[in-house]
């Protein structure tokens, strides 16, 4: 018999690393667990309280699409520390140094601006990632905040003012650059903390930020039959300019406290959709003679719903404009037989597409409860309605979507790789639940409506032929009566 090999000769480190004894794990006492829970709860509350005020980085779930579409890095002007060192943005750094001269008027000096910003500099600095401010002294940080904030507010004032038409071309380099600068102003990583903006706006009440946000909102809808809604700043304390824009577009929803729990109705909607999906999947497997369980996937992947714009029209669900331009104003109304999905219209171009993705990214970073995903629900509803370019054409015919994007561009924007990473909220799931309930309760009516919808031309042609034949028969019958 061969001698057993000595493992210590070949792998001495294995034997040396083996512990001689296993340490005893002592479970914490009941009081210890209570203290740990309280400490963890405080940490979670502290983390959540800071979410709404921080200047967040673009979330990883949307970053790939954001980088491909140039929705993260500013194209012309850097606001704040995240992108100010990029070589392609240095030309505007020179322009920003003159911004305090444009912002300050009689009675307001650059020194006053600096004192105001210094008073809130500590709070403002805590809003940014510490890594982005490594090596930046407090004095340099204050100078950056004064320079960038004055540029931001001076540009806003120049955009809204008719008295100083020459100011905007100087600040933006040229009038043609205005749209690029306005796009950069609403990037998630290109923001100034609200405490800084508020401190400087108190010095210049003439800067009408409310009117500016309302004007930008009209670009998102671009409807001649819509009036710009007023925005009350005194009751709002957003994180930054993008947060204020998102708040305005969402319809200024009230902040609700759910005690770290989702609304009960949300759980009902998701469980209802999941059970519907499982039922449909089971029927499908049974027809094929298999009883395997469907693979685990997201709710949207498992839904047995035909939900494109054209398919909804086929089953008797109409698409219509909502009464307001607020993103929260989406839903489904129920009639005796028909249903209507209502939602605000959307103008799609490079600017608005960039703004919408950054609003959705902001919600990913800050939303604590499902009812806060308002922009995401709005985008998810549009994505649900688009499967083919014909669906985009159908939405254009309903005046729900318009703008400079072609049908192909619009379809790519809503059905790109990022679409699966945008989390819809309660309003979206509520619409899905009602669609599924309608399909289950009115299956016979839907079948009749779908047949008529698809064959309406043939039916009309047959009816016209029958009418012609009836006229001929009637004429022949009258001739026969007269001859007899």
Structure tokens at 248: 């305005």
Please write the tens of the pLDDT for every residue from 239-296.
999 999 999 999 876 544 434 444 444 444 555 455 555 555 555 454 444 434 333 3
Q: Which residues of 378-391 are buried (b: 16+ CB within 10 A; e: fewer)?
A: bbbbbbbbbbeeeb
Mean pLDDT of 143-166: 88
**Cα separations in angstroms, 335 against 224, 248, 310, 339, 445:** 29, 31, 20, 6, 13
Are 192 and 142 contacting, i.e. CB atoms less than 8 angstroms apart? no
Q: Quote the percentage of the chain above a pLDDT of 90.
A: 39
Q: How far apart are CA 265 and CA 434, in angstroms?
A: 13
- Does the pLDDT at position 126 exceed 80? yes
Structure tokens at 60: 């990883």
- pLDDT given at position 43: 59
Pairing between strand 401-402 and 317-321? unpaired
Q: How confident is the model at residue 343 (pLDDT cuts 50, 70, 90)?
A: very high
- pLDDT given at position 445: 87
Q: How far apart are CA 49 and CA 169, in angstroms?
A: 40
Mean pLDDT of 389-412: 92
- Does the pLDDT at position 297 exceed 80? no
- Does the pLDDT at position 19 exceed 60? no
Q: 158-167, 196-205, 322-331, 430-439 — which is least confidently predicted?
A: 158-167
Half-sphere exposure of 411 (CA within 13 A, CB side): 14
Helix axes 241-250, 350-366, angle to 10 degrees: 100
- pLDDT given at position 350: 92
**What is the separation of C-alpha 185 from the centre of its chain, rounded to a whole number of angstroms?**
17
Q: How far apart are CA 111 and CA 99, in angstroms?
A: 13
251: left (phi over 0), alpha (psi -120 to 50) or beta: left
Mean pLDDT of 15-22: 53
- pLDDT given at position 291: 39
Q: How far apart are CA 452 and CA 459, in angstroms?
A: 8
Count of CB atoms situated within 10 Å of the CB of 78: 24
Sheet containing strand 331-334, edge to edge, reads 317-321, 339-343, 331-334
- pLDDT given at position 322: 92
Strands (E), 191-278: none
- pLDDT given at position 114: 93
Please write the tens of the pLDDT for every residue from 38-79.
666 665 555 555 677 899 999 998 888 888 778 999 999 999
Please write the tens of the pLDDT for every residue from 424-435.
888 999 999 999
**In the beta sheet, which residues pair with residue 321?**
343
Q: Give the CA dihedral 189, 185, 93, 133, nearest 10 degrees.
A: -20
- Does the pLDDT at position 90 exceed 50? yes
Q: How far apart are CA 61 and CA 66, in angstroms?
A: 10
Q: 114-128, 191-205, 210-224 — which is least confidently predicted?
A: 210-224
Structure tokens at 181: 């600068």
Helix, strand and coil percent figures for the chain, each rounded to 5: 60, 5, 35
Q: Is residue 182 within a helix (H) or strand (E), and if so which, with residue range?
A: helix 178-184
- Domain extents in the chain: 70-207, 210-250+263-274+307-441, 446-483
pTM of the model: 0.78
Q: How far apart are CA 273 and CA 424, in angstroms?
A: 14
- pLDDT given at position 354: 94
């Amino acid at each position: 018999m061969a001698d057993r090999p000595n493992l210590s000769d070949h792998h001495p480190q294995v034997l040396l690393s083996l512990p001689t004894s296993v340490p005893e794990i002592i479970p914490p006492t009941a009081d210890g667990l209570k203290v740990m829970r309280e400490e963890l709860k405080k940490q979670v509350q502290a983390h959540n309280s800071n979410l709404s005020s921080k200047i967040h980085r673009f979330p990883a779930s949307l970053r790939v699409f954001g980088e491909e579409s140039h929705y993260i890095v500013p194209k012309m002007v850097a606001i704040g520390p995240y992108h100010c060192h990029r070589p392609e943005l240095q030309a505007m750094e020179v322009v920003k140094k003159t911004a305090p001269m444009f912002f300050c008027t009689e009675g307001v000096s650059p020194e006053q601006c600096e004192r105001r910003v210094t008073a809130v500099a500590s709070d403002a600095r805590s809003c940014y990632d510490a890594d982005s401010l490594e090596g930046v002294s407090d004095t340099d940080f204050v100078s950056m905040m004064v320079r960038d904030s004055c540029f931001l507010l001076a540009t806003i004032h120049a955009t809204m003012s008719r008295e100083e038409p020459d100011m905007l071309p100087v600040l933006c380099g040229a009038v043609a650059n205005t749209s690029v600068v306005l796009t950069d102003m609403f990037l998630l990583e290109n923001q100034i903390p609200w405490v800084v903006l508020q401190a400087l706006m108190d010095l210049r009440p003439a800067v009408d930020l409310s009117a500016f946000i309302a004007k930008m909102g009209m670009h998102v809808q671009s409807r001649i039959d819509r009036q710009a809604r007023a925005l009350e700043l005194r009751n709002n304390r957003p994180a930054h300019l993008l947060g204020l824009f998102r708040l305005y577009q969402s319809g200024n929803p009230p902040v609700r406290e759910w005690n770290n729990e989702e609304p009960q109705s949300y759980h009902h909607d998701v469980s209802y959709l999941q059970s519907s999906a499982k039922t449909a999947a089971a029927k499908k497997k049974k027809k094929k003679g298999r009883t395997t369980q469907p693979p685990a996937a997201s709710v949207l992947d498992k839904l047995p719903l035909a939900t494109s714009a054209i398919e909804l029209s086929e089953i008797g669900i109409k698409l219509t404009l909502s009464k307001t331009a607020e993103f929260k104003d989406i839903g489904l109304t129920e009639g005796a037989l028909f249903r209507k999905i209502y939602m605000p219209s959307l103008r799609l171009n490079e600017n608005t597409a960039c703004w919408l993705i950054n609003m959705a990214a902001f919600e990913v970073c800050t939303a604590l409860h499902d009812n806060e995903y308002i922009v995401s629900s709005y985008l998810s509803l549009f994505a649900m309605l688009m499967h083919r370019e014909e669906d985009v054409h159908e939405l254009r015919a309903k005046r729900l979507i318009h703008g400079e994007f072609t049908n192909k561009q619009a379809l790519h924007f809503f059905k790109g790789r990022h679409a699966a990473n945008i989390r819809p909220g309660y309003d979206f799931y509520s619409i899905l639940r009602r669609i599924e309930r309608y399909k289950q309760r009115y299956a016979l009516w839907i079948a009749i409506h779908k047949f008529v919808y698809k064959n309406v031309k043939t039916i009309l042609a047959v009816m016209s032929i029958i009418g012609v034949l009836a006229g001929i028969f009637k004429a022949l019958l009258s001739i026969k009566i007269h001859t007899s």
